[in-house]
Amino acid sequence: MKKKWDYRIPQILAAPIFFIVLLFAVFKTSAQECPALVSPINGATLVSVDASISWEAITGVPGYIISLGTSPGGNDILNERNVGALTSYTSPAGLPESTEIFITITLFFFNQPNIVCESQSFTTAALSEAPQCVPSTFPANDALDINTATNISWNAAPNATGYFLSIGTTLNGSEILTSTDLGNSLNYNTPTDLPPEAEIFITIIPYNRIGIAAGCSTVMFTTAPEAVLPICTTMISPVNGETNVPLSPTLEWNAVTNATGYRVSIGTSPFETNILEDAIFFKTSTVIIDFEPNRTFFISIYPFNEAGEAIGCTQETFSTLVGCGPYFDPVSGELLVLNPELSFPDSVSICTDNEFNVITATDEADGYRWYKLDERGNETLLSTTAEVSIDEEGKYIHEAYVNIEESGRTFECSSSKMFEVKISQIPEIADVKVQITANSLNYEIFTTTTGNYEYAIDNKEGPYQDTNRFTNLSLQNHTIYVRDKDGCGLATKFVEQDLTVNGFPNFFTPNGDGDNDYWQYIPPVENTEPIIEVIYIFNQFGSLIQQLSPTSIGWDGTFNNQEMPETDYWYKASFVNQQPITGHFSLKR
């Protein structure tokens, strides 16, 4: 974070500082993964003629060159257009209808031969209606002081396959160019300059096989007095297509005799000016501080004078090859990256009762930075050590970096990730909902607090689980443990459960384990003397199988020394001076 340079003119015009830093890397020349089409997918049909083409990004590939044709490997529609690191392309003039279009993607590398991938294809849909009018032109309608050497251009009209153009000095006139079919071109350069200080009328009529656009307006602009434009220039350093360019290069271009200045734009793709946009220089060189490593840059230079700027200047490219990677290692056959690998978690919890909540980096690095993000995404630096104190919830950034020394220059390779801080607290058990089944108990645990909790039963050491539900528990009393995962504390609750009805157990388990092996009436605690005379036990057919004294150990689940089966049994208890009580219970083994 915090390493993007602001390429404004005052910085560009800083005193020349030329760091020559070259880090040569060898890139893979053997089998290389090629990208698949994302949209349209390979084999797609009925694709719109104005569709944008996109493909997968491949790790370690600095850039892409694409060709479009009507046959595998063909380039009759587009011939090897370098799009930099972009993974999409839209044809300015659209694509032909009802045609299988083949796209060939070439992987661009710095220090190895480019890799040409196998062609993929899709088929465009047929046009179903006449085109619309062009959305905009250059010069624009009512423009003033247009140079007489200006080329006329326009943006593509939807569904157009060609254009008729007429140029005149009167409304609907064609004194300069009678209506001419220019095919699918989007510009026209008049053989001679336009008349100076004149009103120029241009009419552009798009067409396709269905018909022509209707109701298209005539565009009028006014030319400037006659003057001589400067010609275009070319780069001296770095030269067009050069690689291994330092990260802080001196850019130099050829002087143009009648130019008073130069308008320079630089971008990371042919369609962007995200590094430098229309910066004006009155000399033929400048220094750029800290280009991004391992990238291709696209530079356009337009000389200008009082008559206007040069027309039709060609965009040039150069590539840097210094920095943190990825680099291809010919020994291991892998891509190497110098940035530290981060293991820091996506979220961290802090305890409400801790005066200082200290978070420590989990990554090995030469240095660290911690930032807090506000609601607008602005960053506030909190710490530059391996530890940071945080006392409130929110979003933060953890950054780790290593210092790399190469060719007498030290540069930084960093990795960063956003993480979220959540507040946690000591658990407090509010309630345990108990469900009694014929064979077992089910618990559901509720807390009055919120946090990152885990749950265990009958053992403080665990095992712990994330869910607050326990099922198929033995029919006995249990102890619940709720623990905060981030070390904020532990809560305990003993759950005592009455498993009888009026003192008669719902079940018993005569399996010889010493626990609940006998079925017997359990008198209430407040009673000191038994009030039951006798208890009779019947099977499901009504046969008497056991008679119990309330003072005996109880029934052991046998009849005539034979173990009785698992099922429900009935009992009848005779009380002193009271009506008998009947009910049923389960025998479980």
Give tens-digit pLDDT for 515-558: 789 998 887 666 555 578 899 999 989 999 999 998 899 999 99
pLDDT digits (tens, 9 = 90+) for 349-358: 888 777 668 8
Would you place residue 335 in the very low, low, confident or very high pLDDT band (cuts 50, 70, 90)? low
pLDDT of residue 21: 28
pLDDT of residue 524: 67
pLDDT of residue 498: 64
Pairing outcome for strands 453-457 and 558-559: unpaired
pLDDT, mean over the chain: 85
pLDDT digits (tens, 9 = 90+) for 437-467: 756 789 999 998 877 899 999 999 989 999 9
Average pLDDT (74-88) is: 91
- Per the listing, tokens 């027309």 go with 311
Residue of 400 and 241 predicted with greater confidence: 400
Q: Which residues lie closer than 8 Å to 92 by C-beta, 6 or more apart?
A: 155, 156, 186
Average pLDDT (289-302) is: 85
Residue 468 carries which DSSP code?
Answer: S
Average pLDDT (34-47) is: 95
End-to-end CA distance of the chain: 66
Q: Detail the DSSP E strand segments found in 425-515.
A: 429-436, 441-447, 453-457, 469-473, 478-484, 490-495, 500-501, 504-505, 507-508
Would you place residue 20 in the very low, low, confident or very high pLDDT band (cuts 50, 70, 90)? very low
* Alpha carbon distances (Å) from 69 to 100, 101, 186: 9, 6, 19
In angstroms and rounded to an integer, the radius of gyration of the C-alpha atoms of the chain is 41
Would you place residue 245 in the very low, low, confident or very high pLDDT band (cuts 50, 70, 90)? confident
Amino acid identity, residue 334? E
Q: Is the pLDDT of residue 407 over 80?
A: no
Would you place residue 19 in the very low, low, confident or very high pLDDT band (cuts 50, 70, 90)? very low
**What is the DSSP track for 197-238?**
T-EEEEEEEEE-SS-B-SSPPPEEEEBPPP-PPPPP--EEES
* Alpha carbon distances (Å) from 60 to 57, 228, 247, 559: 9, 47, 19, 80
Would you place residue 18 in the very low, low, confident or very high pLDDT band (cuts 50, 70, 90)? very low
pLDDT digits (tens, 9 = 90+) for 479-490: 999 998 878 889
Q: Is the pLDDT of residue 418 over 60?
A: yes
Whole-number Å distance between alpha carbons of 54 and 90: 9
Q: Is the pLDDT of residue 338 over 70?
A: yes
pLDDT of residue 307: 81
Contact (Cβ atoms closer than 8 angstroms) between residue 66 and residue 83: yes
Average pLDDT (31-58) is: 91
Contact (Cβ atoms closer than 8 angstroms) between residue 297 and residue 136: no
High-pLDDT (> 70) share of the chain, %: 88
Average pLDDT (332-341) is: 75
Q: Is the pLDDT of residue 85 over 50?
A: yes
- Per the listing, tokens 């950054």 go with 399
Least confident of 174-178, 409-413, 509-513: 409-413
pTM: 0.47
